[in-house]
């Protein structure tokens, strides 16, 4: 009797492990845990794909943020992706990482809609302290002002 109980519990545990592994693999393969469907479509239009390191390495932080512009949070987003040609031919692209900025109202997006980088992406977050001024920030296109 004890043998059959152990066998049944072992089979049950093996099934749970396989199901968990399958769900994790599906979510990573489909990008579910990395970017929303809306951001995936924007990435596709810009010739890039989600950076899978964000789902594989939880301590990297988030690959995206919503609401960097005033108003409804869903009206603006910023997210990291990797150029598709970099995946097809590693080390072929000079700056393979893209930080894309999206705004539903294009007039609100006064900065460039992308920043290319040679450095691997890190997590994004918003700093919303209203007392912070922009006096120490500079433009990427004109760093000396």
Q: What is the 3-state secondary structure (H, E, C) of 102-135?
A: EECCHHHCCCCCEEEECCCCCCECCCCCCCCCCC
Which of 31, 75, 89, 76 lies closest to 55 in space, CA to CA?
31
Look at residue 22 in the predicted model and tell me its pLDDT: 32
Separation CA 98–CA 101 (nearest Å): 10
The rounded Cα 114 to chain-centroid distance in angstroms is 14
* Residue 75 contacts residue 97 (beta carbons within 8 Å): no
Look at residue 7 in the predicted model and tell me its pLDDT: 36
Per-residue pLDDT in tens (0 to 9) along the chain, 145 residues:
444 443 344 434 433 333 333 333 333 444 344 789 999 999 999 999 999 888 888 788 899 999 988 889 999 999 999 999 888 888 888 899 999 999 998 877 777 899 999 988 889 998 878 888 877 777 777 777 5
Judged by DSSP in three states, 121 sits in coil
**DSSP-assigned beta bridge partners for residue 18:** none
Torsion angle of alpha carbons 38, 41, 116, 88, nearest 10°? 140
List of residues 6+ apart from 139 with CB closer than 8 A: 145
Handedness of CA 119, 122, 126, 127 (dihedral sign): negative
pTM of the model: 0.67
* Residue 77 contacts residue 126 (beta carbons within 8 Å): no
Domain ranges of the chain: 1-30, 33-117
Query: What's the token pair of residue 53?
Result: 């390191």
Separation CA 97–CA 122 (nearest Å): 10
């Amino acid at each position: 009797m004890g043998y059959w109980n152990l066998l049944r519990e072992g089979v049950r545990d093996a099934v749970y492990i396989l199901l968990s592994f399958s769900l994790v693999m599906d979510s990573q393969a489909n990008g579910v845990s990395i970017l929303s469907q809306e951001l995936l479509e924007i990435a596709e239009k810009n010739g890039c794909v989600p950076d899978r390191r964000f789902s594989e390495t939880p301590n990297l932080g988030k690959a995206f943020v919503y609401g960097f512009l005033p108003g409804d949070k869903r009206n603006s987003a910023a997210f990291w992706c990797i150029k598709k040609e970099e995946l097809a031919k590693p080390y072929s692209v000079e700056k393979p990482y893209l930080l894309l900025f999206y705004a539903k109202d294009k007039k609100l997006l006064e900065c460039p809609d992308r920043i290319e980088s040679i450095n691997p992406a890190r997590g994004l977050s918003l700093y919303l302290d209203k007392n912070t001024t922009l006096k120490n920030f500079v433009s990427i296109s004109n760093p000396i002002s």
